[in-house]
Structure 1
């Protein structure tokens, strides 16, 4: 662990905005990371951890506390996998796309559709990252956590993380604290060993995105190559000369609405049903059981709608900017807010608030931000 001269967030985040914090510490090993966290917690200072900075909007005033940069890296094979599968334990600071590239090169399936997602591996479970039908919840076995309240390290099964659509018990949603204040030290994935040759692509969503016919066979490397091309076309693969990639990815969450609310939207608005719990568990005390089962009350059906559609149909076009602002909507993707060159955190926040107000006025829906906001209010 080493304390370093604070580096501005504008140099450490993909949005390229944000002032330098008051204090900064770098942790390059698991032991250094544990020590740094316990030290800052014992001093009761404000703190935050920083990985790849790809899902973060930081304001223009210095963060009044300690930033711990997680620079751990590496992964290794571990025991316990099912037959035909391989388990990898990955350090939290490991670059995510480098991990995906390794898996694809070694014929390990389960994360290839998430190629090109920026950031570090430790951030993946926090918001259950996913793309084109794959999510981290499908391959995650467990995470190693250190809890702020106790400073203790524990191994937590994936089932106990509350993984849902871009959420978990560890995620700091805008306006609320996470259910569990903890930092991921490492995680374990279980990937299917399928080899590097072509095989049937069963996922319908991925087939549709890649233009693959039902029954066609493709390799993991072919999937990775084409996913990277699709993401690049949307400005979602980091490329320094392209300001469309100076973003935090999708800035707003796709709203999940009650079906009755979704019916008030224009019929041409795309929507996807969110599957309800069709097999609820009913517990009846033995002493109260009379031979009859109570009727099962079906839960309501929720619907997910695309935030990008709402934004564009509220009059916000790709490339939109407010007057004199250096922040703008991506020219390739209406859901990405970008730094067009020299923008401040305040300018990005101003653009986000304007988009929120337009969508709320047009459709009565308040879009919620996807990135973690530090020193910025919407």
Structure 2
């Protein structure tokens, strides 16, 4: 079963994830555009098969047993720019490489996405997770999306961002199979200036005051430098980048329940709530960079304790064992439960 124009490819999901882990799917279909995605998903639905959408595989932890269904690879590419007053609307196919999109917008002199440079994956996944970094998140710039509605078997165009329930690293699209992102639209600044620089580390690197808007090219280069220093830019030769990015989200708690830890980074998160640094909690619970999991086949990154990395020859179960060790260690030390940021496919913590 596949759409007429789709091409079948390697069924091992380890070949399609940045962790390089995961067993086979019953079927993998490469869909080259929005119509092929809708066709492939619709065909699987009519056959009663589960569906897994795979972009760059940078946010997936797939079980060693694999996935008993159809994995649809989002491979459709394409970006269009349209002037709209003092902004530019950018329409992007779901399979467009995210960092290539960011680079293209910066090259066009557009501001807004530069702080999200270096993040792996495909554009269609970014609203699902409400991807964010260095003080900017997709919700700040997203206009609308086109969706394939699996409940009705139809395409819904221009679904407003306001209907997506965008919040910290989540949306109404996350954790549900009801809809598939086909196309995404952003509104970017056309004045050649970046988004306001809100992240202290980035402001210091750029030598600017917080809230400054500056050259997007300089911001992109600074962000890429910071991410490379943390092993967060993909490099096949660097096992620190064999990861799913930050594995745990920063916990948001009632202020009264937050543990008091000297030097722990924390940010206001609404009335009576605070967001704590997951990395700080992990480090203070005794887990340092490079902390090894089973057999040394997996470990915390040697550069950034939030990334769980595959060192080669490992398994998804090895990775999950390390994640459980870290999660339980933080809970025992501080009474705070960390939650995974990646999507867990056919496996749990």
Mapped partners of 2:204, 2:67: distance in 1: 40
Gaps of 5+ in 2: none
Contact 1:6–1:22 (8 Å) recurs in 2: no
Distance (Å, rounded) in 2 between the aligned partners of 1:161 and 1:212: 36
Q: Deviations over 1:224-268 (max 9, x none)?
A: 111101000000000111100000000001000001101x33243
Q: 1:352 to 1:217 in 2, by over 3 A?
A: closer
Partner deviation per Cα, 1:116-136 (whole Å, 9 max, x = no partner):
000000001001111111111
The aligned counterpart of 2:134 is 132
CA–CA distance in 2 between the matches of 1:5 and 1:372? Answer: 22
Counterpart in the other structure of 1:74? 78
When Rg is computed on C-alpha atoms for both structures, the one with the higher figure is 1
Q: Are 2:279 and 1:308 aligned?
A: yes
Cα deviation, 1:102-126, whole Å, max 9, x if unaligned, reads 1001101000011100000000100
* SS of equivalent to 1:54: coil
TM score, norm. by length of structure 1: 0.87
Contact between 1:201 and 1:214, CA under 8 Å: does it hold in 2? Answer: no
Identify which of 27, 32, 36 aligns with 1:32. Answer: 36
In structure 1, the residue matched to 2:19 is: 15
1:157 and 1:233 mapped to 2: Cα distance? Answer: 36
* Counterpart secondary structure, 1:144: strand
In the alignment, is residue 221 of structure 1 matched against residue 217 of structure 2?
yes
Q: Which whole-Å deviations, capped at 9, do the CAs of 1:278-335 have from their partners, x for residues lacking one?
A: xxxxxxxxxxxxxxxxxxxxxxx11000111111111111000135240100000000
Q: Which one of the candidate residues 332, 340, 344 is aligned to 1:373?
A: 344
Q: 1:312 to 1:140 in 2, by over 3 A?
A: same
Whether contact under 8 Å (2:301, 2:308) holds in the other structure is yes
- Unaligned 5+ segments in structure 1 are 173-177, 277-300
- The 5-angstrom pairing of residues 233-312 of structure 1 reads 233-262=229-258, 264-276=259-271, 301-312=272-283
Secondary structure of the corresponding residue to residue 24 of structure 2: coil
C-alpha distance in structure 1 between counterparts of 2:235 and 2:104, whole Å: 21
In structure 2, what is the Cα distance between the partners aligned to 1:101 and 1:76?
14
Give me the whole-angstrom Cα distance separating, in 2, the residues matched to 1:348 and 1:64.
21
1:360 aligns with 2:309: no
Structure 1 SS opposite 2:313:
coil
Instruction: Give the 3 Å change call, closer, same or farther, for CA 201–169 of structure 1 in structure 2.
Output: closer
In 1, are the aligned partners of 2:283 and 2:305 still within 8 Å (CA)?
yes
Residues 226 and 368 (structure 1 numbering): CA distance in 2 closer, same or farther, change over 3 Å?
same
Distance 1:78 1:239, change over 3 A: same
1:45-194 pair list within 5 angstroms: 45-78=49-82, 81=84, 83-155=85-157, 156-172=159-175, 178=176, 181-194=178-191
Tell me the alpha carbon deviations over residues 180-211 of structure 1, each in whole angstroms, 9 at most, x when there is no partner: 7200000111111123xxx5874332653524
Q: Distance in 2 between matches of 1:68 and 1:96?
A: 18
Q: Secondary structure at the match of 2:129?
A: coil
